[in-house]
Structure 1
Amino acid sequence: MIEDPSYLVAGFVEIKAACCGLGTLNFEIFCLLIAAYCSNRSDHVFSDLVHPTEAANRISMDHVFDGSLQYTFPVNMKQLVAI
């Protein structure tokens, strides 16, 4: 997602910085009580330094469930459930 600019069309405004955390791009220290949270998490790919936001997870799961062979090989989850 962070390497493909087409995800900016998917509604992401920030593809590098985390929504919550401390340090450069909020990626050096996890969210603490003193950390500032972003106002709209769905604009971000990352919630903190290791976790994607719900919006990013939704896109990932859509690819896993009903994606092409580029993302799921030999079958996606939809095809596996149908077997």
Structure 2
Amino acid sequence: MNYGQDLSSRDADEHIVYFREPDECGSENPLAEKYPLVYLQEHSRFRIHTQWFEVPVLRELDPEPQGKVNSVDAEARGVKDGD
């Protein structure tokens, strides 16, 4: 499907997902040195539109938000499992 994106460099027979570096946080952006990490939010399977946020049994299964960091980035910053 074409939603206005530039697909001229893609092979016409290519139908798999591809990576395009984000404009606002890519390695060529001057802010990349100041902000080297990119945050992506994972959707919890225990919440639907936040309406089940306070259900006691679901809070037992998913008590707190979790942050996941690539092991290379974590080691470079002294972050260990469980921090």
> Comparing both chains, which one has the higher relative contact order based on Cα–Cα distances under 8 Å and sequence gaps of 6 or more?
1
**Richer in strand (by share):** 1
**Richer in helix (by share):** 1
Larger radius of gyration between Structure 1 and Structure 2 = 2
- Please indicate the TM-score interval, normalised by the length of the shorter structure: under 0.3
TM-score (norm 1): 0.24
